[in-house]
Structure 1
Amino acid sequence: MFLKIYHKGQKKESMKKVLIGIGILIACFGIGFLYLASKPSVASNYTEVVETGGAVEKKYLGQGNYDVSYLEINALQNFKKYELYYPTNIETETRKFPVVIFSNGTGVRASKYASVLKHLASWGFIVIGTEEEYSWNGFSSEMSLRLAIKLNDNKTVEGLKSNPFFSKVDLDKIGLSGHSQGGVGVFNAVTEQKHGHMIKTIYAASPANLELSSNLEWDYDPSLISVPTFLVSGTGGGYEDLVVSGKQLTQIYETLPATITKVMARRKEAGHGDMLRLPNGYMVAWFMWRLQGAPEAETAFQGNSPEIVQNKLYQDQRIMN
């Protein structure tokens, strides 16, 4: 039996190599994020070309019944502006509209996937995005929520000739959607921000795994979540597995409390960037169910045979009611 003895100098050298290795790993993630940020994110016609595997998924991947308008509001923050997509006839409607706030992946600003926000708005949502590039802490989501409150409560808003959202925002029905770093952001918006208690549901696509997030100082704690949560990721390997493998998504799912409604599914052969668009039929269905109470949308996730469980484009599905 041999005992290997390290002198102090050797210990320091060994620790130095470990730290260098960690630094290289984090740098690789950073390069990967920048690579994604340099590419166009979602095509304007994505709803016409994405494959679906079920009737509910197909329905909600299509356009909704509302024409959509767009409005920008300057933000006195590093994310420059708020980008709002909403039903064009909002002022003449007697109803109020639920809100979905988007939390961006690193470098992938809302303007790079505007077609996703517009698509969701066509189903009767007020959708808010920003140009935030560092969304992990939930701050941009918090500020977007504060904007929604301001727009609903004030007939006149500085910077707007008129305010189409006055008394039209359903502040009891607010959801969050996030991808990658933004997937971390939706958790922290609920658990760490002032108005987190107002958020009723979250959707996280390929959220950065717990270990990676800790290494990047993007810490979050799924065990503190108290609202219905839908997790998705892809099985395409490569960069997607570095951000969140199947095992790591399962870890997030299992860390969520057993007392909430939670759903997990992985889209087959989907890469990290693909998760901004490929699962969006079910993303829309989720918000239609949780924020608008649509019975057909609910069947994708509930009942004796939820559609998402039977959908052959997905695997590793888990549902807890």
Structure 2
Amino acid sequence: MVIWGNGTGVSPEPYDGQLRHLASWGFVVAAANTTQAGSGREMLAGARFLIAEDARPGSVFHGKIDETRVGAAGHSQGGGGAIAAGADPLVDTTVPLMPGPQGSVPALHGPSLFLAGQLDLIVPSVYVRGRYSWAGHVPAVFAELKGADHFFPGETRIRAAGVLTAWFRYWLSGDANAREIFFGADCLLCQDKSWSSVARNEKARQVSG
């Protein structure tokens, strides 16, 4: 399961393509139906709704939710919301995209991928990297997307969706091919010229490729 937080003033609709892409890879996605997702509360409410539906006979989600494998992701304020939600024991891994100031990075208890845009003037890359630097207690990766501003123009949106999906495929689905993108000496993301900067903390470097 993946729970999603929207940017400030934005509903889930602008993220529809990205969320459907996640669903096409086997994830049940719950997007917070709010334009203020920074607290993470609505995101966690989505997860708990799906868990309840999993147990309810007659639900389309009956028997289809694995509550032991939950990821949180979000963009901008929703990225801060993902960090806030990531402190909850329900959440196993977190992907903040260009996150706002919400949530406490030291409170995260699972691996995290911090995505920044090289040309982002709203949430500058240096700020996202600063938030990543507080995640030394969990495996964490920082990736700056070349040519991306705060709204993922052109192909940068596709590349962000691909990396987001790969992260969850490894940590939630155990996909060994996805692991190679982030970990090991031959880390594919580290070699991909579409990303202008990639950093992995000590715990991430210890994850085998």
TM-score (norm 2): 0.90
CA distance in 1, matches of 2:72, 2:161: 14
Residue 228 of structure 1 and its aligned partner are, at CA, apart by 0.4
CA pair 276-180 structure 1, distance change in 2 beyond 3 A: farther
**Match in the other structure for 2:185:** 304
- In the TM superposition, what are the counterparts of 1:1-321 in structure 2 within 5 Å? 99-155=1-57, 162-191=58-87, 196-208=88-100, 213=101, 219-236=102-119, 240-243=120-123, 245-256=124-135, 258-274=136-152, 277-320=158-201, 321=204
Percent sequence identity over aligned pairs: 27
Residue 266 of structure 1 aligns to a residue whose secondary structure is strand
Residue 67 of structure 2 aligns to a residue whose secondary structure is strand
Which segments of 5 or more consecutive residues in structure 1 lack a partner in the other structure?
1-98, 156-161, 214-218
CA deviations on 1:203-243 (whole Å, 9 max, x unpaired) are: 111112xxxx3xxxxx422111111000011111xxx2232
CA distance in 1, matches of 2:3, 2:157: 14
CA distance in 2, matches of 1:319, 1:287: 17
Residue 68 of structure 2 aligns to a residue whose secondary structure is strand
| Aligned length, in residue pairs | 199
CA distance in 1, matches of 2:128, 2:145: 12
Residue 126 of structure 1 and its aligned partner are, at CA, apart by 0.7
CA deviations on 1:22-73 (whole Å, 9 max, x unpaired) are: xxxxxxxxxxxxxxxxxxxxxxxxxxxxxxxxxxxxxxxxxxxxxxxxxxxx
Residue 264 of structure 1 and its aligned partner are, at CA, apart by 0.5
CA distance in 1, matches of 2:183, 2:168: 14
Structure ID, larger Rg: 1
Residue 277 of structure 1 and its aligned partner are, at CA, apart by 4.5
Residue 170 of structure 1 and its aligned partner are, at CA, apart by 0.4
CA deviations on 1:51-96 (whole Å, 9 max, x unpaired) are: xxxxxxxxxxxxxxxxxxxxxxxxxxxxxxxxxxxxxxxxxxxxxx
CA deviations on 1:119-172 (whole Å, 9 max, x unpaired) are: 1111111111133100000111111011011111121xxxxxx41211221000
CA distance in 2, matches of 1:203, 1:276: 15
CA distance in 2, matches of 1:202, 1:299: 18
> Quick check: 2:97–2:116 contact (8 Å CA) kept in 1?
yes
Residue 297 of structure 1 aligns to a residue whose secondary structure is helix
Following TM superposition, the consecutive aligned residue runs of length 4 or more in structure 1 with deviations greater than 3 angstroms are 275-278
CA distance in 2, matches of 1:190, 1:296: 25
